[in-house]
Amino acid sequence: EAQVTQNPRYLITVTGKKLTVTCSQNMNHEYMSWYRQDPGLGLRQIYYSMNVEVTDKGDVPEGYKVSRKEKRNFPLILESPSPNQTSLYFCASSLSVPRGRGTDTQYFGPGTRLTVL
């Protein structure tokens, strides 16, 4: 089944304890992205990756790192989590970044609910 998976789905941690949220897709997608969703603020993009070894900042990258060593995986790393990173996180992927055609469909993972105490 074509899907985007995230782990863990739920995580409670303490300030300063490094953590990694994994994201994997089995659709051979080039493009992957991380969003966070907060009440009243909607979905905000954290980082994105156009392809292996190509990553760039989204709108709210502070406090996060990513890597894209393989096409299928795009982990989100919080080196020193803080309470303001408590949020619902989504990973998304799409086949490719549109190059003049104007269309793409993004597939989202089930989400990771992170609480930082």
Partner 1 sequence: DAKTTQPTSMDCAEGRAANLPCNHSTISGNEYVYWYRQIHSQGPQYIIHGLKNNETNEMASLIITEDRKSSTLILPHATLRDTAVYYCIVRGYMEYGNKLVFGAGTILRVKS
Closest approach of partner 1 to the CB of residue 92, in Å? 8
Q: Is 100 helix (H, G, I), strand (E, B) or coil?
A: coil
Q: How do beta strands 10-13 and 31-38 pair?
A: unpaired
E strands along the chain, which residues?
4-7, 10-13, 19-25, 31-38, 42-51, 54-57, 65-66, 76-78, 87-94, 107-108, 112-116
Q: Indicate whether 101 belongs to the interface with partner 1 (CB under 8 A).
A: yes
Please choose, out of 21-29, 63-71, 77-85, 103-111, the segment that lies near partner 1 by the rule CB under 8 A.
Answer: 103-111
Number of residues that bind partner 1 (CB under 8 A): 32
Site string for partner 1, 19-58 (x = CB under 8 A): ------------x-x-x------xx-x--x-x-----x-x
The residue among 81 and 109 lying less far from partner 1, judged by its C-beta, is 109
74 is an interface residue for partner 1 by CB under 8 A: no
